[in-house]
Chain A
Amino acid sequence: MDSPKSPTENEINYGNLSDDTIIDYETLIKEEEEQRPLVSEYDDISNYKVNYIDSEIFSKKIDQLKKTCKGYRSVRKDGNCFYRSFSYKYFELYNKNPSSKWSKEMKKIGENTINVLTSANFEKETIEDFYEFFMDSYDEKKFKEASFTDDYTSNGIVFYLRLICSAELKLNHEKYEMFLEEPLESFIAKQVEPLGRDVDNVQIMAIVNALKVCINIAYLDSTDYDVNWIKFGEEYQKDPSSPVINLLFTPGHYDMLYRDNE
């Protein structure tokens, strides 16, 4: 009698996978991802790996990045990667020099977010714990503790950023509505406030405008063009030396990027 053997790559008919198989597979990927740290240690840019982009194109693009960038930090792929990468770099830049003009301005804007949120009809009682997490991160020690070790606090900060985004969309809806394919209210309820929902450019614009920061994103995809950089909120970069939040985008995911001048 033949003993059952596991199918080889060629024998699997991908078109015939049952819903259960797909769900099991998705759960497996999710569980593996949950084992990874929320934020990884800093590493040299030449070690950056993405397994699904054609390797030749990819290494060409990494070579391009190397000209102006030195390193990266990756974050967990849980749908919160933009908010987590952004907040990490935001507070890291703040804590590098808390007495700089930029840092002081950032903290002032951060302090005021609770007032912005209550004016957008969020109940203070339900959001003030998260406001506290956010404000605590202006303290370097607390920020590192939360980012590396404490899922609850780190997710709390991610959530608070989602609320900042939501409040900005509500309060200045005329700026954003034209980019949406559904009513603003349902977009916010489905795509902004729940944890684990990826961002589109609209959310990035809202975060940039709410916190008055400049974000520069390097897009690393599988097309055979040069690495594409897109700056959001250039108007908030008052002089060329003021800090910019550099991020690295690969299809479906954001990590943090460090340029040579950082």
Chain B
Amino acid sequence: MDTVTKRLIKELKNLQHSPNEQIPELHPISDDNLLEWKAVILGQEDSCYKGGRFELAISVPKTYPIQPPKIRFVTKVCHPNVHFKTGEICLDLLKTEWSPAWTLQSACMAICLLLVQPEPSSPLNCDAANLLRCGDELGYKSLVQMYVNMYAKNN
């Protein structure tokens, strides 16, 4: 068995033992391909993302975990560090700061955290980032909630 398969099976077993409430779904899309995963993360209750269910597509390279997984939002989300059209995520952890000690679950948890701790200084969505940079917290929150209601509920 190659290293990536061995590692992913281990992660899968671990997930069954210790699921995370914020990540109700995290599994391979089909039984015969361990390299493509689907995840669902929930917006935190005390944030403007509350009530939202966000689907993520995870593509695991054959060189995982030396190389990071590719993760993008499938559900449309309004966030300074997520590309509105492609779902691309700008998070150092998934690029230059990836470490093989991370797992798919901990990477998803980091994305949950990114939702409530945006980095408006390195934006992929300038409209959302500009609201924060101008200090328009209220405008930002209502824009985010509008998109949560449009795309991330009952999906």
A interface residues (Cβ-Cβ under 8 A, vs B): 122-123, 125-127, 129-130, 152, 155-156, 159, 162-163, 189-190, 193-196
State A251–B71 Cα separation when bound (angstroms): 36
List of A residues within 8 angstroms of B6 by Cβ:
129
Is the CB–CB distance between A193 and B10 below 8 Å?
A: no
Is the CB–CB distance between A129 and B101 below 8 Å?
A: no
Is the CB–CB distance between B99 and A193 below 8 Å?
A: yes
B52 at the interface (CB under 8 A from A): no
Q: List 23 A-B contacts (CB under 8 A).
A: A123-B101, A126-B7, A126-B65, A126-B101, A126-B103, A127-B101, A152-B3, A152-B63, A152-B66, A155-B66, A156-B3, A156-B66, A159-B66, A159-B100, A163-B101, A189-B97, A193-B101, A194-B96, A194-B97, A194-B98, A194-B99, A195-B66, A196-B96
B117 at the interface (CB under 8 A from A): no
Query: Which of A127, A163, A193 counts the most chain B CB atoms within 10 A?
Result: A193
9 closest Cβ contacts across the A-B interface? A193-B99, A155-B66, A125-B10, A194-B97, A159-B100, A194-B99, A126-B101, A129-B3, A126-B103
Is the CB–CB distance between B101 and A190 below 8 Å?
A: no
Query: Which of B63, B101, B103 counts the most chain A CB atoms within 10 A?
Result: B101
Q: Is the interface of B mostly helix, strand, loop or mixed?
A: loop
B interface residues (Cβ-Cβ under 8 A, vs A): 3, 6-7, 10-11, 14, 63, 65-66, 96-103
State A248–B3 Cα separation when bound (angstroms): 33
State A127–B63 Cα separation when bound (angstroms): 15
List of A residues within 8 angstroms of B66 by Cβ:
152, 155-156, 159, 195
Q: Apart from A130-B100, A189-B99, A194-B99, what 16 extra A-B contacts exist at CB < 8 Å? A: A122-B101, A123-B103, A125-B11, A126-B7, A126-B65, A129-B6, A152-B3, A159-B100, A162-B99, A163-B101, A193-B99, A194-B96, A194-B97, A194-B98, A195-B99, A195-B100
List of A residues within 8 angstroms of B11 by Cβ:
125
State A196–B100 Cα separation when bound (angstroms): 12
List of B residues within 8 angstroms of A122 by Cβ:
101
